[in-house]
């Protein structure tokens, strides 16, 4: 066979190969285009509608509308209790200042401080349970009210007696005994209330984590995708 003939055959073969490759490439691109079109037009909207949107509604929606407000509200409740505890301590300080007052003006100042801090403490504890409480917190609040009112009565008596020099010795004895006892009891209950509120916060956080885990599991193993769960149809015998 002549060299020229071989060259023509080689060129023809290369041309045929290029045409074949081009045809295969065009077919592959057309198939890919149809596949991408199907994904964009059908599969992605279905995925968004049936998987992504429910995930957002269940997980993010509950987190924003329920969990975060409750956690923030309970932390605010604890802050109010801490401030009430500070008010109670300031009222106790005012009681001691009334006993030590050397002038009517000093006694009057101590009396006003006592009344102001007692009122603030009572109001703050009440406000701390307006939005988020629990059966345990309501029971503790009732006990706190009883202890606080008992202390309020005693400390007010001490301050009143401190205005009279001849009654200060008796007032001092009441302050050291009954007043301190009721004060400690009320503060202890308030501490327990803070612990209970913290426990409620941990309950919410735990429930949130469990719900998120369950949602993630449902997304990983949907009921209608047995293959994803590893369920294989049994071989017919």
CATH number at residue 54: 1.20.120.1730
User: In 3D, which of 83, 68, 101, 71 has the Cα closest to residue 172?
Assistant: 101
Residue 22 lies in a domain: no
Query: What is the extent of the structural domain holding 210?
Result: 45-216
Q: With contact defined as beta carbons under 8 Å apart, do 219 and 55 qualify? A: yes
Q: With contact defined as beta carbons under 8 Å apart, do 91 and 104 qualify? A: no
pLDDT in tens, 184-237: 999 999 999 999 999 999 999 998 888 777 766 665 555 544 444 444 444 544
pLDDT in tens, 34-89: 766 676 666 666 655 555 455 545 555 555 767 889 999 999 999 999 999 999 99
Residue 161 lies in a domain: yes
Residue 169 lies in a domain: yes
Residue 139 lies in a domain: yes
Looking at the structure of the chain, the number of domains it has is 1
């Amino acid at each position: 066979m002549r060299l020229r003939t071989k060259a023509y055959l080689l060129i023809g073969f290369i041309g045929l190969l290029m045409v074949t490759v081009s045809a295969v490439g065009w077919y592959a691109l057309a198939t890919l285009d149809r596949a991408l079109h199907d994904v964009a037009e059908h599969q992605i909207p279905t995925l968004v509608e049936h998987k992504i949107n429910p995930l957002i509604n269940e997980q993010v929606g509950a987190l924003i509308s329920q969990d975060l407000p409750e956690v923030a509200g309970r932390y605010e409740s604890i802050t109010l209790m801490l401030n009430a505890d500070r008010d109670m301590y300031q009222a106790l300080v005012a009681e001691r200042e009334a006993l030590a007052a050397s002038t009517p003006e000093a006694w009057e100042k101590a009396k006003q401080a006592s009344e102001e801090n007692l009122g603030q403490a009572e109001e703050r504890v009440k406000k701390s349970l307006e939005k988020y409480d629990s059966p345990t917190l309501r029971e503790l609040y009732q006990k706190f009210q009883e202890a606080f009112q008992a202390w309020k009565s005693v400390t007010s008596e001490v301050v009143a007696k401190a205005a009279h020099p001849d009654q200060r010795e008796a007032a001092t004895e009441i302050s050291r005994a009954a007043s301190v006892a009721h004060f400690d009891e009320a503060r202890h209950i308030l501490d327990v209330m803070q612990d209970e509120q913290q426990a409620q916060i941990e309950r919410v956080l735990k429930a949130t984590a469990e719900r998120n885990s369950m949602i993630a599991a449902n997304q990983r193993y949907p009921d209608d995708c047995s293959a994803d769960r590893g369920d294989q149809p049994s071989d017919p015998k």
